[in-house]
Amino acid sequence: MWQYAAVILLLFLVLYFKRYKYLKQFEKIDGPKPYPIVGNYFLLKNPKKHIAIFNEFHSKYGKTIKLFTGMLMNLITTDVKLLEVVMNSPNLTNKTNDYIMLFSRWLGDGLLISSGEKWISHRKILTPAFHYKALEDFIEVFESHGKLLVGNLLKASSEECMDVHTIINLYTLDVICDTAMGTSVNAQCNPDHKYMKAIKTMCEIAPTRLLNPIYRSEWMYKYTNLYKSEIKALETIKSFSLGIIEKRRQFLESRHSDDVNDYDEFGKRRKMTFMDILLKSTINGKPLTNEEIREEVDTFLFGGHDTTSAAISFTCYNLAENPDVQKLVYEEICHVLPTDHTVTITDLQNLKYLEMVIKESLRLYPPVMIFGRVVDKEVVYNGIKLPKDLRIAVNLYSLHRDPDEFPDSEKFDPLRFTADKQSKRHPLAYIPFSAGHRNCIGQKFAMLELKSVIAKVIKNFELLPVPGFTLQLTSKVTLQSVNGICVKLNPRSA
């Protein structure tokens, strides 16, 4: 009997010393005291408090802190020196298991979560879709859906307190479906479309799963109603996008391969969509399968929908709260975009002040407020070995409020983004679209969409603050406000 006890004791001691040695490497990094087994879980279980908690931890323990989710150690950082390693090292390009747990059934091996050779080859074929020439085609899409948005906002403008986010979210869904698949699902006119509902379900499931230990465990999750609704939503999404992909593939195959232009039934040149690029691409001489194309199309839908609607809505809120800034934006828009003028990509690029306003809004309210990487191969930072499998999260919300880089950091001040001021900051002090190898592929697309739609809104409405309303921020997969993002709209006379 005592032999068994001795073996167990020995095993325990080996594990204890292994753990001790592992943790010893990080003794220079501070953080809240973890409890055995559960770590710091109880501090993090309420997502509404995350922002305040992270801010407090950074001021108490430093720019990089240790946090334990169960036994797993995570570093959370706002330190630009560590970010240089995280963003630029080839050993830190992979995403954490959270991404796989939340999105793999939906986004498969799409760009957001894939790794290694697959990510490299897909990123290479998709990059041209975001070049200047390709983006030019999308301006018309932003503009036409923007007109519908203005109509919907007008209908709701009698409300004293309007949550613009709900309405804008349908606009961004329309835009991304149209640009990714060339199919308009008309979410703004038909918010009950079953595909739209399925996408919404999927976007809501991710934050619910993220912080609930029962939902996080794959085998327990499979017995829940949430899992059943996920499977149902996925069936709808997959059959819808695979149907469009197949139809488009057949159409392209029925045409001559040297036909570069593509016209619709009215003889108008059809814009290239992300799906078309994928259908025409090959990797090592082989075309992509329909399922591979679907994964990428759905990745764009996910990556380009909630992020942009949060960015547009928070910018509207900031403009309502800062009438002097709004006045300057309005004057610039009237100057650059006179009435009845067809908006071009050059016009949007000329909205320089609006660009600074959007950047300042993304600083204060970064739609992706935290994102993570996992160390693939040991790297050394500041004398500390960052071992394989260590998870490092970048906390953009606090990074963008660092008083060393952004004095009076809570103040909304677009002039922080003059070329001169930007050049004086560390390049990684402001990264709403991430940076380095795995930065946001849709960054330029998003900036153009934001400019197009905000210009439309400000040209048609004066945005006013709602007395007594304050945002109640919460970190879900994207940054959101529990009580909505509310403004009052005052239609401008024509």
Residues of the shown chain interacting with ligand HEM in the complex, contacts defined by CB under 6 A: 95, 111-112, 123, 299-300, 303-304, 307-308, 311, 367-368, 371, 432-434, 438, 440-442, 445-446
Judged by CB, which is closer to ligand HEM: 162, or 175?
175
The answer to whether residues 337 and 455 touch, using CB atoms and an 8 Å cutoff, is yes
The answer to whether residues 65 and 382 touch, using CB atoms and an 8 Å cutoff, is no
Judged by CB, which is closer to ligand HEM: 416, or 488?
416
Question: 3-state secondary structure string, 79-131?
Answer: CHHHHHHHHHCHHHCECCHHHHHHHHHHHCCCCCCCCHHHHHHHHHHHHHHHC
Minimum distance from residue 209 beta carbon to ligand HEM (Å): 16
Judged by CB, which is closer to ligand HEM: 67, or 113?
113
Minimum distance from residue 211 beta carbon to ligand HEM (Å): 17
Minimum distance from residue 174 beta carbon to ligand HEM (Å): 13
Judged by CB, which is closer to ligand HEM: 240, or 302?
302
Judged by CB, which is closer to ligand HEM: 299, or 318?
299
The answer to whether residues 143 and 470 touch, using CB atoms and an 8 Å cutoff, is no
Residue nearest to ligand HEM (CB): 442
Distance, in Å, from the CA atom of 416 to the CA atom of 418, rounded to the nearest integer, reads: 6
Distance, in Å, from the CA atom of 358 to the CA atom of 319, rounded to the nearest integer, reads: 10
Minimum distance from residue 308 beta carbon to ligand HEM (Å): 5
Judged by CB, which is closer to ligand HEM: 73, or 134?
134
- What DSSP assignment string belongs to 378-430? -EEETTEEE-TT-EEEEEHHHHTT-TTTSSSTTS--GGGGSHHHHHTS-TTS-
- Comparing CA positions, the residue from 423, 424, 407, 300 lying closest to residue 363 is 407
Q: If you ran DSSP here, which 8-state letter would residue 436 be given?
A: G
Minimum distance from residue 312 beta carbon to ligand HEM (Å): 8
Minimum distance from residue 303 beta carbon to ligand HEM (Å): 3
Minimum distance from residue 372 beta carbon to ligand HEM (Å): 7
Judged by CB, which is closer to ligand HEM: 195, or 300?
300
- Comparing CA positions, the residue from 358, 369, 322 lying closest to residue 453 is 358
Distance, in Å, from the CA atom of 140 to the CA atom of 164, rounded to the nearest integer, reads: 23
